[in-house]
Amino acid sequence: MVKNTDARNVDMNIGEKNMKFCPNCGSGNIGWVLPQDRSKWECKDCGYVGAFIIEDGEIADEIREDYIKNKGKMKR
Ligand SMILES: [Zn+2]
């Protein structure tokens, strides 16, 4: 059993206190649109693109809850 541990991949998953969240859906699955342009963020979950992001996990949780609720409504 050989586990290929790539330090660069591990690095992506640490530092939870520095997490960034999407202001639209509360997802933490966001990143820079361009690595050179660190003022612009893109949400991989809902497609949000913008400079504004959430850095507070509690607020993100609330947004996420609302988003999922609304999504459920739309599905109906
Ligand atoms: Zn989003």
pLDDT, tens digit, 9 for 90 and up, residues 38-62 = 999 999 999 999 999 999 999 999 9
Cα(1) to centroid of ligand 1, in Å?
37
Cα(37) to centroid(ligand 1), Å: 19
Contact between 20 and 53 (Cβ < 8 Å): yes
| The predicted structure's pLDDT at residue 8 | 52
Residue 4 Cα, ligand 1 centroid: separation in angstroms?
Answer: 31
C-alpha span between 28 and 53 (Å, rounded):
10
State the distance from the centre of ligand 1 to the C-alpha of 34, rounded, in angstroms: 17
Work out the pLDDT band at 72, boundaries 50, 70, 90: confident
Q: How far is the CA of 8 from the centre of ligand 1 (A)?
A: 24
Per-residue pLDDT for 34 more than 90? yes
